[in-house]
Amino acid sequence: MKMTDVLATETKPVLSLEITPPDRGRSVDELFTAIEGVMEFTPKFISVTYHQPHTVYEEVDGVIRRRPRRKKPGTVGISAAIKNRYAVTTIPHLICGGFDRFETEDALIDLHYLGMENILALRGDPAPGHTRFVAEKEGHNYASELVTQIAAMNRGEYLDELDNAVATEFCIGVAAYPEKHAEAPNLDKDLALLKHKVDSGADFIITQMFFKFDYFRRLVEKARAIGITVPIIPGVKPVTNRRQIEQIPRLFFATMPQELVTAVEGAKTPAQAFKGGTRYMAGLFQQLLDFGVPGIHLFIQEKSGDSHALLSAVYGS
């Protein structure tokens, strides 16, 4: 199922999930357990993140070789496993980092063969240990370039001229940032870049996590004002402990409203913090539903206890 087809036919906002592959050497069973913890809420889509490799240099027999290593491999395999195990449409992430255009084409061919109909096209973060993004030689510097390549393959246009080439049929998603991307000078500039991604062929938008409804409403209003008409799906992350209050702003450049900070940090026990954070996020969730969003994308990562509590607070268990 294509995301856009489902959004066009569903009468209620759809729920989608985002998960992260386990670290190298860890069991995928932990991830399946997390997914099963929220399957009662019938998610329509599950997206699987992809991570930029870090590079190490090893000397073997006097020759120094560059060796990319990924901490969290398995995006394609996990996407296929989830699709078959749970009969849920999966959306693998595809990033610019670590790929040149030819490797990207190969990855897209593999996904097409596996029957994947949706792709979330992202630039990706800088490689571990780096402060700025650096593309591979003959790779893409921006997500819009990746979207352009996928859209071209949807027209049957490959990097090499091929006779009677089969067109892919990917529904292309891209990311948006309600408060702006960390590297953008302001929201208006960020929105102009978002429109460029849509004009390049993107079919839907999923936002980065945010914690105040006004951020999302402002994003939607400004996006519509400049001619962005594709569905915009808000991304929501449960917050239930002090560690998240400290880490999320640093890692994701998202502002924590004082009401949420007080609900978690002002609690006397971890259990009270869990309840306070869940109550606040359930309120945000409900505001988004009342606003008429086409769906909500829930970041469950590797565990789902807090996500189950949040969904239960909104929909009932």
> Residue 56: its pLDDT value, please?
54
Give Cα separations from 215 to 17, 185, 220, 237 (angstroms). Answer: 21, 17, 9, 15
Structure tokens at 140: 């893409």
Say how many Å lie between the first and final Cα of the chain, rounded. 27
Quote the CA–CA distance of 115 and 110 in Å, as a whole number: 9
Residue 233: beta bridge partners?
206
Backbone angles phi, psi at 191, to 5 degrees: -70, -35
CB 150 within 8 A of CB 201: yes
> Residue 245: its pLDDT value, please?
96
> Residue 23: its pLDDT value, please?
86
Q: What is the CATH number of the domain that holds 29?
A: 3.20.20.220
Could you tell me whether strands 204-209 and 295-301 are parallel, antiparallel, or unpaired per DSSP bridges? Answer: unpaired
Quote the CA–CA distance of 4 and 17 in Å, as a whole number: 16
> Residue 63: its pLDDT value, please?
61
Phi-psi map region of 201: left, alpha, beta (phi>0 left; psi -120 to 50 alpha):
left
Could you tell me the residue range of the domain that residue 28 belongs to?
3-315
For the chain, 317 residues long, the average pLDDT of each consecutive 10-residue run is 96 96 88 94 96 61 60 89 95 94 96 97 86 90 98 97 95 98 96 98 98 98 98 97 94 96 97 97 98 97 87 91
Q: Which amino acid, one-letter code, is at 148? A: T
Could you tell me whether strands 232-236 and 295-301 are parallel, antiparallel, or unpaired per DSSP bridges? Answer: parallel
- Structurally, how many domains does the chain consist of? 1
> Residue 79: its pLDDT value, please?
95
Which DSSP string corresponds to 29-53?
HHHHHHHHTTGGG--SEEEE---PP
The reported pTM is 0.93
Quote the CA–CA distance of 239 and 245 in Å, as a whole number: 7
Quote the CA–CA distance of 233 and 10 in Å, as a whole number: 14
Quote the CA–CA distance of 210 and 218 in Å, as a whole number: 12
> Residue 128: its pLDDT value, please?
75
Instruction: Work out the number of other CB atoms within 10 angstroms of the CB of residue 292.
Output: 8
Burial tier of 132 (Cβ tally within 10 Å: 0-12, 13-18, 19+): exposed
